Amino acid sequence: MKDLRILVTGGTIDKVHDPRTEGLSFSPDGATHLPEMLRIARCHFPVVQLLMLKDSLYFDDADRASIAKAVEDAPEPCVVITHGTGTMGETARFLAPLVGDKTVVLTGAMRPFSLYASDGEFNLGGAVVAAQMLAPGVWGVMNGRVFAAEALNKNVEQGRFDA
Amino acid sequence: MKDLRILVTGGTIDKVHDPRTEGLSFSPDGATHLPEMLRIARCHFPVVQLLMLKDSLYFDDADRASIAKAVEDAPEPCVVITHGTGTMGETARFLAPLVGDKTVVLTGAMRPFSLYASDGEFNLGGAVVAAQMLAPGVWGVMNGRVFAAEALNKNVEQGRFDA
Amino acid sequence: MKDLRILVTGGTIDKVHDPRTEGLSFSPDGATHLPEMLRIARCHFPVVQLLMLKDSLYFDDADRASIAKAVEDAPEPCVVITHGTGTMGETARFLAPLVGDKTVVLTGAMRPFSLYASDGEFNLGGAVVAAQMLAPGVWGVMNGRVFAAEALNKNVEQGRFDA
Amino acid sequence: MKDLRILVTGGTIDKVHDPRTEGLSFSPDGATHLPEMLRIARCHFPVVQLLMLKDSLYFDDADRASIAKAVEDAPEPCVVITHGTGTMGETARFLAPLVGDKTVVLTGAMRPFSLYASDGEFNLGGAVVAAQMLAPGVWGVMNGRVFAAEALNKNVEQGRFDA
């Protein structure tokens, strides 16, 4: 059983409903839902590290460099990154040449965990398992499929990640 | 991307609250929650087959033989079996010599999907991904871990499947 | 026990998460959640009538006139109106001189029913009960309080309706 | 606006799923869900007092006497009592001659709040509103209806409280 770290960067999976704007934002207290998701999943072993809470549409290269640095600094061989769906593929391809012999799996959700009936738990469950099984490199796990970094793209029309 | 079938046999993952007895039972209409779980997960490709809805504590060898037959009859190379946690390991070991070159992954939940805050979606997400990646044989995926058939056992004290 | 009709006009209580925009909108199929809410509440007797699905910020006098007409046409003495929180008070005051000897109660939610952890069920439960008990006229029931039409105003800062 | 106290006595509304027995019980930590229910309902004004957490099928006259004492001691004129559905009517009739000029409303749920899709929030919303409007005496509010103490009885066949 390999040790595993979850790096939290934000994205829809961690958003909450803001009753003032009727839109989605992050918790005003800057918290992530990952510990709660793991508690419900009865999955006790991952280390959770909150790196940032950002919508990935607003990621720039400095954000991606800080993710690469966190992967490099992780003592575990397996890293799951929770990430917005908007630019998940871009980040995967940015990280691909930088992760050495680590296995990195990006995941996220089309609907926030905090709204229930979310794809977040299903995606996270797949990512945690895949990160322990896949070869070193950068991958995405979404909606029941494993994607190589170069093939990780949202199907905007269907509202999911697809082969 | 490999084709995948989900065989439903019952177990806690598919149970519902019965307001008359205050216990858990299966839907009086004999339905499974798997199609709803996959819809929420935005995971459109598995074929769902309802084999039975039973508590695995009451499985006998005839039940397990019918599961083995359904695995054998499945045209897909990858099969996920939803199963009660009580005797998941026994079924895994019963099936192990019988599945040929198919990859079979058992999964389930400690808390029913219909009660929300369930580990079912997380476990199912892991099982669907693992079934596409693992070698032929029988495996279990629960609570973020992959188990070989011989090591698949519930930790009753902790209320989860554990290394 | 008095007969009761629920007139659905839209508002946050009936909104759903739109994964494309990450905002809230109404179901593309034009459906209301009220029948599902009543089923969960085990409250079988109200008649549900879908009048429109609109954000009350965009209501004009023609919309309010059609609500007044629906109240007038209702054969039941008690009418609950589900309504957006943004202009609930305006509609109450518009209707007040027009409802004759009917008891009309406006209600809604700060968070959509479809996102769970909503105030919608609690508010609806209060409105259904209050509509059977209050004197003829127009009232609002939100967040555990009954308001006369002239005192029905959202506390935007606190995110609730308040004394 | 009248001050209101909620006396918690247990019942299905406050039960949780026990994964070891697959039955329902109360939280091992002895906590009630009422504060969480009120937070979700954005209903900030009731005082919550945890009296006991018991299945009302096991209530005896000493339990009911302690409820009567708590009603008597309450400084507020309006009291909501959360209570099991099994003997809600018995407790109502026990309390009826003992409550003086207080308005007391019993409520509860057929399905626990912690299992979601519960009638608990709807019932609580009705009870909180009714307690502020009804005449002194003992009443029940369940599933959208107000019942006098003598008419408060569960319809076991339909799984609800009914006229």
Task: With a cut of 80, say whether residue D137 has pLDDT above it.
Answer: yes
Domain ranges of chain A: 4-148
Rounded Cα distance, B132 and B118, in Å = 24
Say what the pLDDT of residue B1 is. 66
Q: Could you give the count of Cα atoms lying within 13 Å of D79 in the half-sphere of its Cβ?
A: 30
DSSP B149: G
Rounded Cα distance, B69 and B62, in Å = 10
The string of pLDDT tens digits covering residues D62-116 is 999 999 999 999 999 999 999 999 999 999 999 999 999 999 999 999 999 999 9
Q: What is the mean pLDDT of residues A25-34?
A: 95
Whole-number percent of chain C with pLDDT over 70: 99
Q: What are residue A107's DSSP bridge partners?
A: A82
Rounded Cα distance, D72 and D61, in Å = 16
Rounded Cα distance, A84 and D134, in Å = 51
Name the nearest CA neighbour of B57 among C101, D73, D20, D63.
D20
Q: What is the mean pLDDT of residues A132-161?
A: 95
Structure tokens at A10: 């934000």
Say what the pLDDT of residue D23 is. 86
Helical pair C88-95 and C61-73, crossing angle rounded to 10 deg: 60
Chain C and chain D share a number of CB contacts under 8 A equal to 113
B13 within 8 A of B33, measured Cβ to Cβ: yes
Instruction: Return phi, psi of residue A22, to 5°.
Output: 60, 20
Instruction: Return phi, psi of residue B52, to 5°.
Output: -165, 165
Percent of residues in chain B assigned helix, strand, coil, to nearest 5: 35, 30, 35
Say what the pLDDT of residue D20 is. 84
Name the E strands within chain B.
Answer: 4-10, 16-18, 23-25, 47-54, 78-82, 103-107, 137-142, 145-148, 154-155, 160-161
The string of pLDDT tens digits covering residues B92-117 is 999 999 999 999 999 999 999 999 99
Identity at A100, one-letter amino acid code:
G
Q: Do B116 and D115 touch (CB under 8 A)?
A: yes
Say what the pLDDT of residue D162 is. 87
Which residues of A sit within 8 Å Cβ distance of C? Answer: 12, 15, 17, 19-20, 22-24, 110-112, 114-117, 156, 159
Name which of B38, B122, B129 is nearest A130 (Cβ-Cβ): B129
Question: Can you say how many angstroms the Cα of residue B98 is from the centroid of all Cα atoms in its chain?
Answer: 17
Rounded Cα distance, A47 and A4, in Å = 7
Please give the full DSSP string across C44-84, using - where no structure is assigned.
---EEEEEEEE-GGG--HHHHHHHHHHHHH-SSSEEEEE--
Q: Active site residue: B12, B32, B87, B103, which one?
A: B12
Polymer length in residues for chain C: 163
Say what the pLDDT of residue A40 is. 97
Least confident segment among A153-157, C117-121, D95-99, D115-119: A153-157
D27 within 8 A of D16, measured Cβ to Cβ: yes
Which residues of A sit within 8 Å Cβ distance of B? Answer: 1, 37-38, 40-46, 110, 116-119, 121-126, 128-130, 132-134, 141, 143-146, 159-160, 163
First to last CA, chain D: 29
Radius of gyration, CA atoms only, chain D: 14
Rounded Cα distance, A9 and A84, in Å = 8
Cβ atoms within 10 A of the Cβ of D129, count? Answer: 32
CATH number of B4-148: 3.40.50.1170
Which residues of D sit within 8 Å Cβ distance of B? Answer: 12, 15, 17, 19-20, 22-24, 110-112, 114-117, 156, 159
Closest chain D residue by Cα to residue B16: D115
Rounded Cα distance, B40 and B52, in Å = 23
Is the ipTM above a cut-off of 0.90? yes
Task: With a cut of 90, say whether residue D1 has pLDDT above it.
Answer: no
Cβ atoms within 10 A of the Cβ of C92, count? Answer: 25
Q: Do A43 and B143 touch (CB under 8 A)?
A: yes
Q: Do C119 and D40 touch (CB under 8 A)?
A: yes
Q: What is the mean pLDDT of residues D13-41?
A: 94
Q: Hey, is C19 helix, strand or coil?
A: coil
Q: Who has greater pLDDT, B1 or B59?
A: B59
Name which of B1, B146, B159 is nearest A133 (Cβ-Cβ): B146
Instruction: Return phi, psi of residue D51, to 5°.
Output: -95, -45
The string of pLDDT tens digits covering residues B11-69 is 999 999 988 888 899 999 999 999 999 999 999 999 999 999 999 999 999 999 999 99
Please give the full DSSP string across D37-101, using - where no structure is assigned.
HHHHTT----EEEEEEEE-GGG--HHHHHHHHHHHHH-SSSEEEEE--STTHHHHHHHHGGG-TT
Name the nearest CA neighbour of A7 among A129, A108, A132, A85.
A108
The string of pLDDT tens digits covering residues A70-125 is 999 999 999 999 999 999 999 999 999 999 999 999 999 999 999 999 999 999 99
Q: Helices (DSSP H) in chain A: which residue ranges?
A: 34-40, 61-73, 88-95, 120-133
Cα diameter, chain C: 45
D102 within 8 A of D136, measured Cβ to Cβ: yes
Mean residue pLDDT across chain A: 96
Helix (H) or strand (E) holding A12: none
Say what the pLDDT of residue C20 is. 84
Say what the pLDDT of residue B30 is. 93
Q: Do A141 and B124 touch (CB under 8 A)?
A: no
Residue with tokens 């008070």: C89
Which chains lie within 8 Å of chain A at 3 or more CB pairs, if any?
B, C
Give residues with Cβ within 8 angstroms of A132, minimum separation 6: A1, A2, A4, A78, A103, B145, B146
Mean residue pLDDT across chain C: 96
Give residues with Cβ within 8 angstroms of B161, minimum separation 6: B85, B140, B142, B143, B145, B147, B152, B153, B154, B155
pTM: 0.92
Residue with tokens 């519930």: B154
Name which of A116, A125, A134 is nearest B122 (Cβ-Cβ): A125
Q: How confident is the model at residue A1 (pLDDT cuts 50, 70, 90)?
A: low
